[in-house]
Amino acid sequence: MNELESIGKQVEDPALWDKPDNAQKILKRRDELSSALKSYDDLVNHLKDNRDLLEIAEEEADESIIAEVEEAFLSLHKLIQKAQLKALLSGEADACDTYMEINAGAGGTEAQDWAEMLSRMYMRWAESKGYKLQLIDENPGDEAGIKSITYQISGHQAYGWLKSESGVHRLVRISPFDSNARRHTSFASVWVYPVIDDKINIVIEEKDLRIDTYRASGAGGQHVNKTESAVRITHLPTNIAVQCQTDRSQHKNRAKAYEMLRSRLYEHELQKKAEAQAQTESQKGAIGWGHQIRSYVLQPYQLVKDTRTGMEKGNAAGVLDGDIDDFLEAALSFKIVK
């Protein structure tokens, strides 16, 4: 409450908008705190109202109202569990927006189509949460799907919720591209890293960078980019590469790519810390980046199973339509990542 009161005083200051970027961050933080307090107050009020109603129902021996209140308590318990999960999102970057990269594995059209299915799944999930999406870079497939895609997902705790999704995702299905209707296994990798703010200092030496420009890919015809506006930046010591072609301006693409590189390097440091911790806590097993984390089986039966938490759901179509909350919550509860 003290922080919210302090922010309230800052918002009342006419000089706040002298620095628009800082003002936006302050207002965003105010909305986050207000939302958290409202959620807490709502839970407390629901609990009090139902407790009072239960006392009345018991005095009057009204079984129908008692059953109704018991049902309400079950629903309230689920809401409290979700609130507890949100409270676990206390990592340094958990509250940040996030970048998400999806890359098709080997397998040509099959893998590229799978990468696009994954992209759609995450986009549907983000939209259901009211998060905003911004396309950063896309490399279309040769016949269908995508070879790779990068976008920014903006919303409170977007990184905290999605950070456990980094890894290899496996699909088993009857291929729509196989005239013999054979079963195929496809792979795609997902990489999630936070959009860091100015409070997190990442030092990048210009001598450590290789900057390449190229023509942005497009749909052909009048949409083909005639200039080399797309930018790729490679950090030589780590071999981390980022690219951006979202704007026609090379300058803007370079600035965005540089911002992404800072975030990737920050995530790289988090990863190193997680790997070191995993080595000292051998009971956690192999949970490093690049390992298969989830299988999506569409044939001969339907099942989506997370190999780390054991969480599974039979409604594969629903999962691919963005219903992944159970997997995210299971990962958060098991503290698989950072």
Q: Give residue-wise pLDDT tens across range 105-155.
A: 987 899 999 999 999 999 999 999 999 999 999 999 988 899 999 999 999
**The last residue of a domain, from among 58, 87, 116:** 87
Which residues form the domain of 195? 94-338
In a shared domain, residues 77 and 124: no
Residue 230 tokens, joined:
């797309």
Q: How far apart are CA 174 and CA 79, in angstroms?
A: 39
9: part of which helix (H) or strand (E)?
helix 2-12
- Give the pLDDT band of residue 48 (cuts 50, 70, 90): confident
Residue where a domain terminates, one of 68, 87, 106:
87
Q: Model pTM?
A: 0.65
Last residue of a domain, one of 52, 70, 87: 87
The stretch 95-110 carries a mean pLDDT of: 90
Q: Which long-range contacts (CB under 8 A, 24 or more apart) does 242-245 make?
A: 242/150, 243/137, 243/150, 244/136, 244/137, 244/150, 245/137, 245/138, 245/216, 245/217
Residues 8 and 127 in one domain: no
pLDDT digits (tens, 9 = 90+) for 182-219: 888 999 999 999 888 666 667 888 899 999 998 876 54
Percentages of the chain per state (helix, strand, coil), in multiples of 5: 50, 20, 30
User: In this structure, are 98 and 71 located in the same domain?
Assistant: no
The mean pLDDT of 87-96, rounded to a whole number, is 77
Identify the pLDDT of residue 287: 30
Q: Stretch 144-173: mean pLDDT, rounded?
A: 92
Judge if 222 and 124 occupy the same domain: yes
Please indicate, yes or no, whether residues 182 and 37 belong to a single structural domain of this protein.
Answer: no
- Residue 338 CB partners (closer than 8 Å, separation 6+): 91, 163, 270, 273, 274
Do 71 and 114 fall within a single domain?
no
d(CA 92, CA 84): 18
The answer to whether residues 201 and 293 belong to one domain is yes
- Looking at residues 266-280, what average pLDDT do you find? 67
Q: What residues does 194 pair with on adjacent strands? A: 98
Residue 43 and residue 80 in one domain? yes
Write the CATH number for 15: 1.20.58.410
Structural domains in the chain (count)? 2
- Are 55 and 103 found together in one domain? no
The encoded tokens of residue 193 equal 């890293």
